[in-house]
């Protein structure tokens, strides 16, 4: 089955700097890759996603890139703000809306 690895497990950046989180997946048939943000005591919330037929997607300060050949995808956050501090999870699936396999998470701290 699918296996998703995520690095780094923790990341600290200064406010205004960029943050990059990288995930690798094992099944080349995976076709959908969402990213979730989880704040303390809450459920994960979708922040951005990308399908396998697209190489890059951007939404304001957040972008995701996908390299199908290398089987990895990355989350890029620019101009980080303290409210970006949270745990971020990547996921992959073979069936767009079903059975996501999640990475172990990255705890991002944005220092003022």
Partner 1 sequence: NAGVTQTPKFQVLKTGQSMTLQCAQDMNHEYMSWYRQDPGMGLRLIHYSVGAGITDQGEVPNGYNVSRSTTEDFPLRLLSAAPSQTSVYFCASSYSKGGNGYTFGSGTRLTVV
Give the residue with the Cβ less far from partner 1, 41 or 112.
41
Beta bridge partners, 14, equal 111
Total Cβ atoms within 10 A of residue 84:
19
Confirm or reject binding of residue 103 to partner 1 (CB under 8 A): yes
Cα–Cα nearest to 49, from 60, 40, 57: 57
The site for partner 1, by CB under 8 A, has a size of 26
Q: Does 34 bind partner 1 (CB under 8 A)?
A: yes
Smaller CB separation from partner 1, 18 or 45: 45
- Which residues on adjacent β-strands are paired with residue 25? 4
Find the shortest distance in angstroms from Cβ 105 to partner 1. Answer: 6
Q: List binders of partner 1 among 71-100 (CB under 8 A).
A: 89, 95-100
In this structure, how many other beta carbons lie within 10 angstroms of the beta carbon of residue 109? 14
Report in angstroms how near the CB of residue 15 gets to partner 1 at its nearest: 27
3, 26 contact by CB (below 8 A): yes
36: exposed, middle or buried (C-beta count within 10 Å: 0-12, 13-18, 19+)?
Answer: buried
Query: Under the criterion CB under 8 A, does residue 104 sit at the interface with partner 1?
Result: yes
Give the footprint of partner 1 on this chain (CB under 8 A). Answer: 1, 4, 6, 9, 32, 34, 36, 42-46, 49, 51, 89, 95-105
């Amino acid at each position: 089955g699918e296996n998703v690895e995520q690095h780094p497990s923790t990341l600290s950046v200064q406010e205004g700097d960029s943050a990059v989180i990288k995930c690798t997946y094992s099944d080349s048939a995976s076709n959908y890759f969402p990213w979730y943000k989880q704040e303390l005591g809450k459920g994960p919330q979708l922040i951005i996603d990308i399908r396998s037929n697209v190489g890059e997607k951007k939404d304001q300060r957040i972008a995701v890139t996908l390299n199908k050949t290398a089987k990895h995808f990355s989350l890029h956050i620019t101009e980080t703000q303290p409210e970006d501090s949270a745990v971020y999870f990547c996921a992959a699936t073979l069936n767009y809306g079903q059975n996501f396999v999640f990475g172990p998470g990255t705890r991002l701290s944005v220092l003022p």
